[in-house]
Amino acid sequence: MKTLLENFKSSLSLTLLHFYLNEKEAINNVDAGVSYSYHVDCNNNPGVKFIHAISLHKDFSVPDLLHSQSPSDDDDVPAGVLQSLFMDDREVIDLESKSLLTITVVELVDGIFLGCSMNHRVADGKSFCHFLLMWSHIFQQKKIKIKKNIITISRPPMLEG
């Protein structure tokens, strides 16, 4: 597990070289009037949250999770179970203290769950999927010798503004 976590972290840091806005902080512009606007602070930021947790239920396994039933939901996995596994940094309270990207790795008896959340103020759903895809590519390439901690990705992000 230690090696897996190290690979997650190192590939994440290489990915963030391309998607650098995710490691910054979005600040509410108070003089914006009635509408909201934000700028990205590159100096004073909460950074990316990377959380490693071990399930409190020592016998909790992936099949237990997938076969759990919720009478009120039609979801494959009940929302309450998922919320107990992953850090929820989406509250709209004190947005400036929230990270723009949170990664949670939860260890179960027979596997892991990886939770990822990105603040919508800097990226939309398509950009989030693009980030996850590129992180996956870099994670799989980690066995390749990397020069100067830089790795080429197939589809770099297009940043506007």
Helices and strands: H and E segment counts in the chain: 4, 5
Average pLDDT of the chain? Answer: 72
Residue 153 located in a structural domain: no
| Other beta carbons less than 10 A from residue 106's beta carbon | 19
Residue 14, pLDDT score? 86
pLDDT at 151 over 60: yes
Q: Residue 35: pLDDT band by 50, 70, 90 thresholds?
A: low
Residue 159 located in a structural domain: no
Residue 129, pLDDT score? 92
Residue 25, pLDDT score? 52
Q: 55 or 112, which is more confident?
A: 112
Sheet holding 112-118, edge to edge: 49-54, 101-107, 112-118
Collapse the DSSP code of 132 into the 3-class scheme (helix H, G, I; strand E, B; otherwise coil) and give the result. helix
| Other beta carbons less than 10 A from residue 70's beta carbon | 13
- Average pLDDT, stretch 27-48? 59
Question: Residue 86 sits in a domain of what CATH number?
Answer: 3.30.559.10
**Domain count within the chain:** 1
Identify the domain containing residue 60 by its residue range.
2-141
Residue 132, pLDDT score? 94
Residue 6 located in a structural domain: yes
Residue 92, pLDDT score? 55
CA atoms within 13 A on the CB side of 72: 3
Residue 143, pLDDT score? 56
Q: Give percent above pLDDT 70 in the chain.
A: 52
Residue 151 located in a structural domain: no
Residue 126 located in a structural domain: yes
- 99-144 pLDDT tens trace: 778 888 888 888 888 888 887 777 788 889 999 999 998 898 865 5
Residue 32 located in a structural domain: yes
Please state, in angstroms and rounded to a whole number, the distance separating the CA atoms of residues 12 and 28.
27
Residue 81 located in a structural domain: yes
